[in-house]
Amino acid sequence: MCQEAKNIKQSILNPVKEALPLNKIEIFPLTGLPVIKEGDDLALLICQAAEKQETSIQNGDVIVVTHVVVSRAEGNVVNLETVTPSEFAKTIAKTTRKDPRLVEVILRESKSIVRMSNGKLITETKQGLICANSGIDQSNVPGNTVVALLPEDADQSARTIRKNVLKSSGKDVAVIVSDTHGRPLRHGEINIALGTSGFEPLRDRRGEKDLFGYTIRIKRTAIADELASAAELVIGQTNEAIPVAIIRGYPYPKSETANATKMMRPPEEDLFI
């Protein structure tokens, strides 16, 4: 266990009245990245940009990368000019007032339509994520007619970035591929983890005892989503200048095998809907 984790454990176990050593978290925006294009080694560019701004990657950092730059580096974009919409896409385009070619791409990326109304199209993507427009992004992509799809396998994308960060910098980090996400029952969007590597995205607190000896029974914290949301606070979402954040000082539970896919709860298991 690293020293920071020990300190935090200490502070949890001892509810003292004295000030304890502070285990603060820092979140750095990563400035100075070039415009990302297909084939770029994102990990290398991230390491170089971090060094240039004097926040060189350290062991234990969490690197949060917005999915649009991952999709662009992976060439996972579509030029709508190359798309011929189906008859069904044209029909839906009329009721949702969208570009029929965009609707065609949304349909190609989805395995079902969950809901449709008021110009909104909620789908279940091929990856199993339920979200608006199959997660397709029109912003932060060069060219008026180019859209970015979700990464084919965001966990794999995260694993690749993590492996290449190790290669470029020698540092062992956690990686999150993040996405902006609308939610049932709440206005406004938050950021969630589409893909993760190097840590356990759900922290299981069941069985822990609280200050008063009560045993926690149902708490599993979605720390990957919380980290993605924390990163958004420094990520300039409307501009590619800051598509990456570095979170330093968070003692994440390490894992070589865990991934973010298991954070998706299928509708049939869901109590809310």
Q: Of 1 and 16, which has the nearer Cβ to a copy of itself?
A: 16
Identified binder of a copy of itself from the candidate list 25, 37, 81, 95, rule CB under 8 A: 25
Site string for a copy of itself, 27-66 (x = CB under 8 A): xxx-xx-xx-------------x--xxxx-----------
Does position 210 bind a copy of itself by CB under 8 A?
Answer: yes
Coil, strand, or helix at residue 215? Answer: strand
Does position 212 bind a copy of itself by CB under 8 A?
Answer: yes
CA 53 to chain centre: 23
Positions 95 through 134 that interact with a copy of itself (CB under 8 A): 114-115, 117-118, 120, 122, 130, 132
Does position 16 bind a copy of itself by CB under 8 A?
Answer: yes
Does position 174 bind a copy of itself by CB under 8 A?
Answer: no
Task: Give backbone dihedrals phi and psi of 148, rounded to 5 degrees, phi first.
Answer: -100, 130
Does position 2 bind a copy of itself by CB under 8 A?
Answer: no
Does position 208 bind a copy of itself by CB under 8 A?
Answer: yes
Does position 1 bind a copy of itself by CB under 8 A?
Answer: no
Does position 94 bind a copy of itself by CB under 8 A?
Answer: no
Please state, in angstroms and rounded to a whole number, the distance separating the CA atoms of residues 117 and 119: 5
Does position 190 bind a copy of itself by CB under 8 A?
Answer: yes
Enumerate residues 6+ apart whose C-beta is below 8 A from 226.
Answer: none
Q: Rg of the Cα trace of the chain? A: 20
Does position 232 bind a copy of itself by CB under 8 A?
Answer: yes
Does position 8 bind a copy of itself by CB under 8 A?
Answer: yes
| Piece of 73-81, 155-163, 167-175, 203-211 that binds a copy of itself (CB under 8 A) | 203-211
Identified binder of a copy of itself from the candidate list 99, 202, 253, 255, rule CB under 8 A: 202
Does position 170 bind a copy of itself by CB under 8 A?
Answer: no
Bridge partners (DSSP) listed for residue 78: 147
**122-128, long-range: CB within 8 Å, 24+ apart, which pairs?**
124/267, 125/150, 127/152, 127/153, 127/154, 127/261, 128/261, 128/264, 128/266
Q: How far is the CB of 67 from a copy of itself (least distance, A)?
A: 15
Residues in the chain, overall count: 273
CA 111 to chain centre: 21
Please state, in angstroms and rounded to a whole number, the distance separating the CA atoms of residues 70 and 73: 5
* Crossing angle for the helix pair 154-169 and 42-52, to the nearest 10 degrees: 50
Does position 230 bind a copy of itself by CB under 8 A?
Answer: yes
